[in-house]
Structure 1
Amino acid sequence: MTRILTFGVYDYFHLGHLRLFKQCKNFADYLIVAVQDGEYILKYKPDAKIMYSTEERVEMIEALRVVDEVVVYDSVCSETLEKIDFDILALGEDHRGGRFDEVEKWCSERGKRVIRLKRTPGICSSEIKKKLN
């Protein structure tokens, strides 16, 4: 069984997120979605407006048929990746540079595949937040 992992906050869950999960299932049998911990977000972005608690976001993602497992993470880094059993890491096409380069290198050194998936045009959490305000 091939296991794919993807990361996100998923606070303003939308069609783009669902399509991301469906794309992931085209590459693997088992989808693991990592949801970022709200307390960690607020530690580094104290002004962030988080609509749902970590537990609520996990509950929403767990309810989706396409998702096989949900885990909570602090940051996308090698320490986090070491704790999760996966074969493929799915990143967004815009996840480049800095920590994402380090994560890609970590995966490469351990024989894990990295794929880049396209965003759903016209849909993003930042725009949803703006419309709600």
Structure 2
Amino acid sequence: MRVITFGTFDIFHVGHLNILKRAKEHGDHLIVGISTDDLNFSKKARYPVCPQKSRAEIVDALACVDEVFFEESLELKREYIQQYNADILVMGDDWQGKFDDLKDICQVVYLPRTPSISTTELIEIVKER
């Protein structure tokens, strides 16, 4: 089974690792779409701390990840799933229900996030210091 997931993976932390390892448990090939810097700016009005090339290199180096590509648009999820022949879409439960419309082309699984850690919170802590 081919699994696909998406994320920014900025300031890589254990929450990122946990979701990727758990995503891989749903199949035998894990494909990860890394949000581009421009996509992140359009979503959050700020660029990631780490540039997209570095974020992709970090994620690609993980044993649980088989393939990495750049996600350029949130509206292209369906096309990415079809392009990479994914059987399962795995997302964090903060997206619960938002991708249910894709159940006609793949299984959709929402996994719980690792508690007490987020990139946004880490950035705020660093800024305060």
Q: TM-score, normalised by structure 1?
A: 0.84
1:26 — aligned with what?
Answer: 25
Give me the identity figure in percent: 32
Contact in 1 for aligned 2:37/2:47 (Cα 8 Å) = no
Between 49-58 and 114-123, report the one with greater CA deviation.
49-58
Shift of 1:45: 5.0
> What is the root-mean-square deviation of aligned Cα atoms in Å?
1.7
> Does residue 129 of structure 2 align to residue 130 of structure 1?
no
> Does residue 108 of structure 2 align to residue 109 of structure 1?
no
1:68 — aligned with what?
Answer: 66
Contact in 1 for aligned 2:4/2:81 (Cα 8 Å) = no
Where in structure 2 are there 5+ consecutive unaligned residues?
none
Where in structure 1 are there 5+ consecutive unaligned residues?
none
Q: How does 1:44-83 map to 2 (within 5 A)?
A: 44=42, 47-76=45-74, 77-83=77-83
- Distance in 2, matches of 1:75 and 1:132, equals 29
Q: TM-score, normalised by structure 2?
A: 0.87
- Distance in 2, matches of 1:15 and 1:64, equals 12
Q: Deviations over 1:53-104 (max 9, x none)?
A: 111111111111111111111233323333322110001111035xx2xx32
Q: Which has the higher helix share?
A: 2
- Distance in 1, matches of 2:91 and 2:46, equals 23
Aligned residues: 125
| Off by >6 Å, runs of 4+ in structure 1 | none
- Distance in 1, matches of 2:43 and 2:64, equals 30
